[in-house]
Amino acid sequence: MAEPAPLAVTGALLDGVEVGLRCEKGEIVALGPGVEPAPGDEAIDAAGAHLVAPLLNAHTHAAMTLFRGYGGDLPLMRWLRELIWPVEARLEPEDVYWGARLACLEMIRTGTACFWDMYWHPGATARAVEDAGLRATIGGPILDAGGGSEGMKETALAYLDELAGTGPLVGSSLAPHAIYTVSEGLLRWTAELAAERSLPVQIHLSETEQEVSECLERHGARPPAYLDRLGMLGERTVLAHGVWLDRSELELIAARGCTVVANPVANMKLAVGGVLPYPAARRAGVRVGLGTDGPGSNDSLDMLADLKVFALSQRHASGDPTVLPAEEAWRVATGAASPLLSRSQRELHGMHGKSVATVVVGGAADFLLLRADSPELGLGDLYSDLVYAASGSVVDTTVVAGRVLMRGGVVEGGEEIVARARERARRLGIDPS
C-alpha cells in the first residue's frame, strides 16, 4: 500500500476538550486545541465526535469467521472433532485470506485497529491484514499431539519465512497451541527459538480445570510452573485465557512480565466454569489484555461487546461492583495495560517504540472518531458509556497508521469481502445456502 497523504482532523472532543490533530507518515505530529490542517492534508471535520484510542483484540483466530454459527451448540470436543478439524484439513490459503478479510472488515467497523492471531496459513492472514490496513501480530499454530515434532519444527520455521516479507504493520510470533497439544520437547524448542530471535510467543494457558489436573499428573506441576521450567515465560509471552490461576501463579506470571489475555465471552460460550481472576491478577501486578478468541467460539469480533462482558463478569464473580472501574476496563481493551500489546508491531522485538494504545503526539496515528449523534454516548462518563452502553455501531471513523479505513460507517469494498468469504465457506461445505 502507498503511503497515505497527511491527515488532519478538526473539531474532535478529546477528554471533553475540542482539539485538532495532524498525522504524517503514520504518526501523530500535532494534537490539541487550535491544531489546523496544513495545505495538502486530507481533512476530516469531526463535528464534535469523541476522539479515542482504538481497541486491541489480544487473542483471536481471525479466519475462523468462516466457522461462525457452525455447530456452536455441540460440546467442545465433538465440535472440534466432528466439524472443525475435518474442514480445517481442507483449508487453502485463499480460504484463510477471505476469512481473515471478513474478520478485518468487522474489526474496522467496530473500532479494532490491532489484533494478535494464531491460525493456519499465517502468510494468508498477514496478506489480509496488509490489504485491510490493520495491524496484527501473527503466528502459525505449533502442535504435535499426533507425533512428528521434527516436521512441525520445519513448518514453524516456514511460517516465520512466510511472515518475514510482510510490511511494517504485521509482526511475526511463535504460537504453540497449548501445553496439552504440544510435547515438552517441542515447547522447549519453541522457547529457545523465541529467545534466539526475540520473538513474541502466544499460547493458550489454564483454560479448563482438566488442563490443570492433567498437567499436574503428567508433569508434576501446574501449567505456569511447567512452562516456566521450559523457559517459556517472559516479557514477550502472551497467555490466553488464564481462567484457572491461583495467587502464586499470578505472582510468577507478574514476575516474568508475561501478558495474560482475558477471553470472557469464549469462556462462557464453552462453559469452562470461570473467567480470569482479574482482581487477583491486578494485585499481583500482571499485565492484562482482552481478546474475543476465534469467531468459532464467541462468535463476534466486536470488542465493545466483550468489554461489557469482561467488566460485568469481574463484578459478578467478585461480588464487588467497585472491582473494575470503567476507565481501567477501557485501558485493558485498548492494550494500554500491557507494554507488549501497546507497542507497534515492528518494535515488539526491542520492547520500545511508538504507542498504539493512546492518542498522543509521537504515537502511532491509530484512533477512532465515535458518532457524535450516538444515543448510547450520553452526558455521563464517556468510559462508562463505552463499557456498559455502547456497541461497535458507535464507531464512525477508524484510522490506522494515518490511513482512514472507515469514514461515516462505510468501509470501501466491504460488500465484495462479504461475498467472497461466503463463497469460500460454501466451497468448504460449511454454508449450504
Residues binding Zn ion (CB under 5 A):
293
Handedness of CA 157, 158, 159, 160 (dihedral sign): positive
Nearer to Zn ion, 303 or 387 (CB): 303
Shortest Å, Cβ 291 to Zn ion: 8
Measured from the CB of residue 136, what is the shortest distance to Zn ion in angstroms? 15
Q: Give the nearest distance from C-beta 190 to Zn ion in angstroms.
A: 17
Rg (CA), the chain: 21
CB of 73 to Zn ion, least distance (A): 19
CB 182 within 8 A of CB 190: yes
C-alpha cell at 349: 522485538
Residue number with CB closer to Zn ion (95 or 293): 293
Q: Given the complex with Zn ion, which of 262 and 404 has the nearer CB atom?
A: 262
CB-nearer residue toward Zn ion: 260 or 326: 260
- Report yes or no: 182 and 193 within 8 Å, Cβ to Cβ: no
Closest approach, Cβ 207 to Zn ion, in A, equals 8
Longest dimension (CA), the chain: 67
Length of the chain measured in residues: 433
Sign of CA dihedral 356, 357, 363, 365: positive
Closest separation in Å from C-beta 396 to Zn ion: 30
Nearer to Zn ion, 293 or 385 (CB): 293
d(CA 28, CA 8): 10
The closest residue (CB) to Zn ion is 293
CB of 239 or CB of 357, closer to Zn ion: 239
- Look at residue 212 and give its three-state secondary structure: helix
Instruction: Give the CA distances from residue 270 to residues 3, 75, 306, 368, in Å, rounded to whole numbers and listed in that order.
Output: 42, 8, 15, 31
- Per residue, the 3-state secondary structure of 144-187, as one string, reads CCCCCHHHHHHHHHHHHHHHHCCCCCEEECEEECCCCCCCHHHH
Please identify, using beta-carbon distances, which residue of 162 and 207 lies nearer to Zn ion. 207
Residue placing its CB nearer to Zn ion in the complex, 241 or 403: 241
Show the cell assigned to 115.
489484533
**Please, what's the b/e burial string for 78-110 (b: 16 or more CB within 10 A of its CB; e: otherwise)?**
ebbeebbeebbeebebebbbbbbbbbbbbbbbb
Sign of CA dihedral 47, 50, 56, 61: negative
Closest distance to Zn ion from the beta carbon of 107 (Å): 16
Residue type, 283: R
Omega of the bond leading into 299 within 30 degrees of 0 (cis): yes
Residue 145 or 360: which CB sits closer to Zn ion?
A: 145
Q: How far is the CB of 141 from Zn ion (least distance, A)?
A: 10
Burial track 351-374 (b if 16+ CB lie within 10 A, e otherwise): eebbbbbbbeeebbbbbbbbbbeb
